Amino acid sequence: MSHAVWSYPTDSGLLAGEDVSGYRVEAADGHVGQVEVVLDRGDQRSLIVDTGTWILGRRVVVPAGAVSRIDGASKCVHVARTREEIKNAPAFARNDDDFWARLGSYYGAFYGFGPLP
């Protein structure tokens, strides 16, 4: 995996303009939640995932680069991170300017993502 943390992998199966809101999210080791919103902040693409009751209903942001594949037929987004890794990501903070830098640093530290843009 050598793509940038904020870009979907070219082999993810995501079609241009496809909205995956409402899709189930599966981590490498099990169910995580559901895509609430697809964010496209210029060159920063990510998903807001509602974890429901799994980690006390927390909303987390998963950068596009963590997506391993998207299965449109079963409406499922597969993420190449474990449930624990997603749980330990910085809590989503809409009005916190430092949030995106913290999130990028957290996910950018995983092998294969390389330096952050």
What pLDDT is recorded for position 77? 95
DSSP code string of 44-109: EEEEEEE-TTTTTT-EEEEEGGGEEEEETTTTEEEESS-HHHHHTSPPP-TT-TTHHHHHHHHHHT
Q: Which residue has the higher pLDDT, 109 or 26?
A: 26
Q: Domains of the chain, with CATH numbers?
A: 24-108 (2.30.30.240)
Taking the alpha carbons at both ends of the chain, their separation in whole angstroms is 16
- What pLDDT digit, counting tens, does each position of 7-44 carry? 788 888 876 667 899 999 999 999 999 999 998 877 77
